[in-house]
Copies of this chain bind each other. A is one copy, B any other.
Amino acid sequence: MSLIVDKTTGGREYKVKDMSQADFGRLEIELAEVEMPGLMASRAEFGPSQPFKGARITGSLHMTIQTAVLIETLTALGAQVRWCSCNIFSTQDHAAAAIARDSAAVFAWKGETLQEYWWCTERSLDWGPGGGPDLLVDDGGDATLLIHEGVKAEEAYEKTGQLPDPASTDNAEFHIVLTIIRDSLKTNPKKYHKMKERLVGVSEETTTGVKRLYQMQANGTLLFPAINVNDSVTKSKFDNLYGCRHSLPDGLMRATDVMIAGKVAVVFGYGDVGKGCAASLKQAGARVIVTEIDPICALQALMEGLQVLTLDDVVSEADIFVTTTGNKDIIMVSDMKKMKNNAIVCNIGHFDNEIDMLGLETYPGVKRITIKPQTDRWVFPETNSGIIVLAEGRLMNLGCATGHPSFVMSCSFTNQVIAQLELWKEKASGKYEKKVYVLPKHLDEKVASLHLGKLGAKLTKLSKDQADYISVPIEGPYKPAHYRY
């Protein structure tokens, strides 16, 4: 795509694939609203008081139908919004079109190049001369990273006059980040400092982004307050688990139509995501083998009847490989060479470095046959045998299907709304330092309770006597902080 910003008739900026899909997007957004009771309840509760009046929110989070409902919840509460996706394949173009046309400045399309991806990220952070956003919704931490790297480079430049050198890294993506920063430094040497000054805080969506935040907190380099939405129970124990249980087989089916029953599937990692993936593969009739580094999670897998082995043990007999670790170098090209013909290799973790895509792409003589977008067969010259890689090693549920379904994302995103409200409300109170916070349990419970009615559930009420007996308030919260659910 030509990287030139478009404008709506009303003057709002955007860059999307195909504005004619806006009507289709709108229809699916309307369906999703019925499935997202937490977000709709937030609109009903907070809409009238317009708490985000005056707030600029930038989001870097998969631009899907569900995210569209989140964005329009933020705008319904008074915010102005700019948005990009946090993955090159995860945008649903009809969702992007509908939001770009109706509600917010969107820079996102399915199948961005890395260059385009970071251009979109920068666009979503650029609120014009007045600086950056007031609030950040991040997923994986790329927007947060760009600001932190920008500030770091500006400081170095101020001290030493030295511009960042893209050639200093052999990581293709970081090369782009440094280039972007270098280019802005020349014209606006305080751009990221100004951004940081204005920024009230970030709410981070996912395990990987949270890990980065805690590392920065530990190093003392975190530049603004952060709310860890991922570790709300109603996020990580729902979206990560039940979302993946839904969307992993969805992605497999849409990409390959493969029969899961009877197959041997290897799930790398048995955290929340791995648990969801293993559950759905098992239920679909696969024989599931888990790899783990953590003996506790390994023992959990065993208790569910899953075998725990290493990749080496099963590399040549398994049919489906799914990485969920959040770590890197899980499946290397040397492993892929040993696999059965047409073994399926995919990743549902946040980043694409779980699978050694670089090793595969640069393997001498390897042949790539694109069956359809996001489904490639890679054939090794020695064996003339191929493997099938989904979404080029990126999040396969978003690359090959439509990600998690609305209902579970309503849980996650209601946490996002609450986190954003909290940061904004306390912007001047000093309540939040440059640290990582989780939402209090009563808000977590509130998110859950907003989703019960839709499913026809009725809660039991404690009597005063019973509440006293177990030492909790009648209205909750009901569990100690360390409770694991």
Contact = CB atoms under 8 A, between A and B. Distances in A.
A249 B256 CA distance: 15
A55 B209 CA distance: 49
Contact of A444 (B296, B377, B451, B459): B296
B298 A259 contact: no
A291 B65 CA distance: 33
A297 B485 contact: yes
A184 interface: no
A364 B401 CA distance: 37
B298 A452 contact: yes
Nearest to A291: B460
Interface in A217-231: 218, 231
Contact of A231 (B264, B292, B302, B482): B482
A15 interface: no
Contacts of A481: 482
A298 B215 contact: no
A458 B261 contact: no
A65 B371 CA distance: 13
A211 B299 CA distance: 26
Residue from A246, A307, A401 whose CB has the most chain B CB atoms within 10 Å: A246
A242 B254 contact: no
Given A286-B305, A305-B282, A328 B291 contact: no
Contacts of A459: 292-293, 295, 298, 308, 310
A465 B329 contact: yes
B448 A310 contact: no
A293 B477 CA distance: 10
Contacts of A308: 452, 455, 457-459
Contacts of A460: 291-293, 310-311
A447 to B, nearest CB: 8
A258 B405 contact: yes
B448 A298 contact: yes
A302 B319 CA distance: 14
A303 B261 contact: yes
Nearest to A308: B457
A34 B372 CA distance: 18
Given A24-B371, A263-B455, 17 more contacts: A24-B372, A34-B341, A258-B405, A259-B404, A260-B405, A261-B302, A262-B305, A292-B459, A293-B462, A296-B448, A299-B457, A301-B457, A308-B455, A317-B456, A438-B482, A484-B484, A484-B485
